[in-house]
A and B are shown apart, each in its own frame.
Chain A
Amino acid sequence: MENREQQLQQYMRGTHRLGRLVSVVTLVLLLGAPFLIGAYLGAMPDLGAVARGFVAVGLVWTVSSVVEFLVYTPMLGAGGSYLAFITGNLINMKIPCAINAKDMVGAKSGTTENEIISTLSIATSSLVTILVLALGVALLTPLRPVLQSETLAPAFANVVPALFGAMGYKYYRQNLRLAAVPLVIMSILFIFVPSLTSSTSMMIIPSGAIAIGLAWLEYRRHIKEGRV
């Protein structure tokens, strides 16, 4: 038992060390690439324009990144979150993918099993995306007319509704009462303030807070009734 505990601690220490190292390396590579490509093209970035652009659009994304870090890190565990923040596409792929894998094998949040499953899931998902994009880029010329055809355009414009429809069924059936309240409140908000649809990803925060608040009340009630 002690040996298992030691192994786990060693694994977690290794994951954090590796995660920090590869995050820093990726960061340097991503920030260095524009300079490298610029050198090849014979021009360097205009740092004044970069600063102005950052103030114009970057600050919003900085706030969004802080929220994403606070919300998704506990969902994904250590290994999964290092990988997810490196590979991106969190809301439209990595988070639902990891949650689906976790539920499928019945892993509980915060457990070692969840840490392992989440890492396996995010790593697999990232590799599939890298592979699909690499194949797509290699076959860009023959694929372009198919993927950009008018017939298929509605399908690719609706990947996210298709994803959240399927995931919605899965989660709503588990606890209809918990799901109904945020859904009704969000629907009313979007109906009466239609401009909010352009910032749906930010509306996840109040919607999630309502659902978590209701879950907390339910949890307290179950504890009082001795059902937990």
Chain B
Amino acid sequence: MTVLERLSSGPVYLICGGIITFVAVVCVVFLVRAWRMGKAIGMDPQKMKQAVTASATFSVLPSVGILLGVIALSGSLGVPWPWLRLSVIGALHYETQVAAAAAEQVGLAELSGSLMTPQAFATIALLMSLCIMWGMILSTLFNSRYLKRLRGKSADAPEGAKKQGGFGDLAMSAMFVGMVSAYIGSYIGDFVSGAGKLAFAGSWTPLAVAAVSAAVMGLLTWLAEKKNLRWLDSFSIAGSMLVGMLAAVLIGK
């Protein structure tokens, strides 16, 4: 049995599957607690249901994208470990980069299943866990104090502002606008200067995909608002993404 075969064997599945099951149970516990609390304080169950439905449909396509990360890493690390990493704590853009850097540190010429040794795997796996755990540590140590501090600050805001969510609400939307702008800006930059400064010969696919996705989102929003098809709201992001991704297939042909 090769190292790669042993990495996809029953005991490794059991270890990784057990941790994933634990995290799934944690999610269910948080979900049920929040739902009960929402009902107890008089929130509209319809709104809560809408949030759950929209989040579920929203997450399907990105999850399939994440599954590709599992497939990509399975050739060098077996199936269960990438499955665990990308189900819990990991991030698609992070895992491959850290795994490759870790392989270099243990002396592998490249991240490859045929070169993998038991010690190389254990070292790579530990480094992958170690590098990305800080969000969880900070959350454990400071979440409560940090939020209390922010709440204290918002309590000083004018009464009218508090009722409308205050500056905090505007700041959150602005932060998100900043996030989207950074990504869209990077697609524009990649197209204009990706193949040489101001050459306009870089990849235009991400920009076109974003534009198609935005156009479909515009259409679905119009249908929901003007034609009173409110049910579309829960599926508009997922639907727009799907059409955007289809556009990428057509462009790629």
Inside 8 A of A4's CB, which chain B residues have their CB? 41
A61 pairs with B132, CB closer than 8 A? yes
Inside 8 A of A200's CB, which chain B residues have their CB? 182-183, 186
B70 pairs with A133, CB closer than 8 A? yes
Indicate whether A194 sits within 8 Å of B194 (C-beta atoms), given known contacts A30-B133, A120-B52, A178-B174.
Answer: yes
Check if B119 is an interface residue, CB within 8 A of chain A. yes
B184 pairs with A183, CB closer than 8 A? yes
Distance of A202 Cα from B95 Cα, bound (Å): 17
B189 pairs with A194, CB closer than 8 A? yes
Interface string of A40-54 (1 = CB under 8 A from B): 111111100110111
B252 pairs with A186, CB closer than 8 A? no
Report A37 CB to chain B, min CB distance, Å. Answer: 6
B125 pairs with A37, CB closer than 8 A? yes
Inside 8 A of B74's CB, which chain A residues have their CB? 140
A120 pairs with B26, CB closer than 8 A? no
B22 pairs with A132, CB closer than 8 A? no
Q: Residue on A with the closest CB to B13?
A: A137
Q: Residue on A with the closest CB to B250?
A: A154
B51 pairs with A228, CB closer than 8 A? no
A166 pairs with B31, CB closer than 8 A? no
Inside 8 A of A115's CB, which chain B residues have their CB? 34
B28 pairs with A123, CB closer than 8 A? yes
Which of A7, A29, A99 is within 8 Å of B176, CB to CB?
A99
Check if B37 is an interface residue, CB within 8 A of chain A. yes
Which of A20, A26, A117, A164 is within 8 Å of B210, CB to CB?
A164
Report B55 CB to chain A, min CB distance, Å. Answer: 4
Q: Residue on A with the closest CB to B117?
A: A43
Inside 8 A of B177's CB, which chain A residues have their CB? 171-172, 175, 178-179, 182, 211
Which of A75, A116, A159 is within 8 Å of B241, CB to CB?
A159
Interface string of A81-92 (1 = CB under 8 A from B): 111011111111
Which of A111, A148, A203 is within 8 Å of B71, CB to CB?
A148
A132 pairs with B60, CB closer than 8 A? yes
Distance of A44 Cα from B118 Cα, bound (Å): 8
Contacting B at CB under 8 A, from A166-219, are 166-175, 178-179, 182-183, 185-187, 189-192, 194, 196-197, 200-201, 203-204, 207-212, 214-216, 218-219
Interface string of A50-73 (1 = CB under 8 A from B): 101110111001100110111101
Inside 8 A of A81's CB, which chain B residues have their CB? 139, 143
Inside 8 A of B84's CB, which chain A residues have their CB? 33
From A4, A140, A144, A154, residue with most partner B Cβ within 10 Å = A154
B12 pairs with A110, CB closer than 8 A? no
Interface string of B171-187 (1 = CB under 8 A from A): 11111111111111111
In the complex, besides A49-B127, A108-B164, 5 extra interface pairs with C-beta distance below 8 angstroms are A26-B89, A45-B123, A99-B172, A111-B165, A171-B173
Q: List 8 A–B pairs whose Cβ atoms lie within 8 Å, in order of A's numbering.
A: A11-B37, A34-B122, A83-B30, A124-B55, A125-B58, A162-B209, A169-B218, A186-B189
